[in-house]
Structure 1
């Protein structure tokens, strides 16, 4: 799905340039590509991922491992996931010393790990920077990640369309960790979307910690402070489990809720349609599988099938689709526990 739109676009361009005149130019499909299953050059991919202390983070690690296992030509050197920057730096330096062909890194802290990314690149090891971006583009060859701003933007537009005919509509926001840039981006996207709906006002915002416990506690505070509102945008489906507990305990069902990330439990609740949760905005953990595809292509010195370029793109940003009752069946298989 990541490359599907680009593939269609490339096909349209090629069709428009076709003529009956012979050409000395090579056909686009003659160029090397590495996103197929055919075995090619042996590639050792070093993977430094996060500690799996959250549903989405665990799903990222699982996606990476499963994707690497799919390829006969890939040897997967995986470190024990860590959220400690010093530990992760040491793990990456070990992979550098092992002279892996490519590194895939989801840094605990992009800023703190920039130097070790630079060290790998200077050692001739291409780095695929996953999700949390390094401070310098020189620290990675390719970036693969989600669209945090787009996540908030799409949540805002979904809520806006649901409430566009309601006078003096009121919405609240249950954000994630405020010290993370991604949280600020999600809030900014949401606020920018709401500017298109002058009848809607955001009346409260509470930051949680991406955990079930924090979601429950912070949602209880929101419910106590706001006796009436029409919609809730919750940044994360894990903390959303706690938020839903607080909502149930308060006996509230007078608003709609939009979640974030795409947890299986959230999708099942959306499908059942027997509560306030009506949609979730994806932040696909499949980005880790795509990062393995990119790393394999880099290690084999090939491009991506479906794209006209010989080189792997320097950046790939996934789309944050809105999943509601109308399309949840299409996305259910991507839901993570």
Structure 2
């Protein structure tokens, strides 16, 4: 079954998801300045924002894990690129590390340097909680990204992807495929990431819950380790255990490189292949008809964290809210990307 035919059947669902996601992506940080009259003849109003205008220079420290995974590399580069857009940000980026002790040392350096804000994607949220709390107590605005601290006092605001929502999006899309392709009691498989991680558990639970809404369930499930090699091994085992599959959801597009290799080696393509995270590889496969869809786990989280850190340090807020201050918690959307909307999401695709 061609990707074109598949996407035509699912166009309505994706169009709804795309509109929601585009609206979320289009919303920028706006100031507390009220709308002003437009100069055009229509006499209408247009939003006026001074948040992007150069203000007092603020020093923002950023620390994230080692970029040993395509999504993490995208997180780090997006944060730096966002900071470079502003003349009033003095951006100090620590070397990426997977050692919590080293990252604690980075944060202590930021505290000693008296930075205005810290954007922190911790290697281990619990391990970095104490030092992040110290930063807050020193009057430094801390923005927690992706992996949560174990105390509400450790950050002013938290920016998260929606792991449970990823599973819901993938499961809802699978249900749509079942209905529109008259698959009946479909054989649905899942290739998870590391099972011991809460994020994997959340993704699996969301997938299971969404499938239950249309009377489906996961018939085959294997777990990998977010690596190419483990993805290929897990997918090979899955294909050997099941002679026919209707839909496969793979949690992670980085491990999806190996998953796709296993599919090709086994010469199996009878199923709808859905990915997760939104890599450039996945999006190219969607364009070429080798993959049905992927579910976005935004690599913009740290970049969004940099923007919010700047607003906090400059004592600005969000005028799009009735409560104009920066929210305590921001959870980003997990839209489905397929052939109908892949072009608009391609700029967010990261290289695996």
Q: 2:67 aligns with which of 49, 52, 67?
A: 52
Contact 1:33 / 1:302 at 8 angstroms: preserved in 2? no
What are the ranges of 5 or more consecutive residues in structure 2 without an aligned counterpart?
1-22, 36-46
**Corresponding residue for residue 281 of structure 2:** 265
The C-alpha deviation readout for 1:79-112, integer Å capped at 9, x for no partner, is 0001111111111111111111000000011111
Q: 2:268 aligns with which of 243, 252, 259?
A: 252
Q: 2:175 aligns with which of 160, 178, 191?
A: 160
Separation in 2, partners of 1:61, 1:6: 20
Q: 1:217 aligns with which of 233, 242, 259?
A: 233
SS, match of residue 127 in structure 1: strand
The C-alpha deviation readout for 1:185-238, integer Å capped at 9, x for no partner, is 10010000001121x331121111111111001111111111111110100000
Alpha carbons of 1:153 and 1:214: their partners in 2 closer, same or farther (altered >3 Å)? same
Contact 1:4 / 1:306 at 8 angstroms: preserved in 2? no
Separation in 2, partners of 1:3, 1:307: 16
Separation in 1, partners of 2:324, 2:169: 33
The C-alpha deviation readout for 1:133-173, integer Å capped at 9, x for no partner, is 11111110001111100000000010111012322211111
**Corresponding residue for residue 20 of structure 2:** none
Contact 2:292 / 2:338 at 8 angstroms: preserved in 1? yes
TM-score by length of 1: 0.89
Q: 1:186 aligns with which of 203, 207, 227?
A: 203
> Is 1:314 the counterpart of 2:328 in the alignment?
yes
Contact 1:7 / 1:307 at 8 angstroms: preserved in 2? no
TM-score by length of 2: 0.85
Q: 1:206 aligns with which of 222, 225, 243?
A: 222
Alpha carbons of 1:292 and 1:179: their partners in 2 closer, same or farther (altered >3 Å)? same
SS, match of residue 93 in structure 1: helix
**Corresponding residue for residue 197 of structure 1:** 214
Contact 1:128 / 1:144 at 8 angstroms: preserved in 2? yes
Contact 2:65 / 2:72 at 8 angstroms: preserved in 1? yes
Separation in 1, partners of 2:154, 2:299: 22
Q: Offset of 1:310 from its aligned partner? A: 3.3
**Corresponding residue for residue 139 of structure 2:** 124
Contact 2:208 / 2:217 at 8 angstroms: preserved in 1? no
Separation in 2, partners of 1:79, 1:331: 29
Alpha carbons of 1:2 and 1:74: their partners in 2 closer, same or farther (altered >3 Å)? farther
- Count of residue pairs the alignment pairs up: 315
Contact 2:317 / 2:324 at 8 angstroms: preserved in 1? yes
Separation in 2, partners of 1:304, 1:224: 53
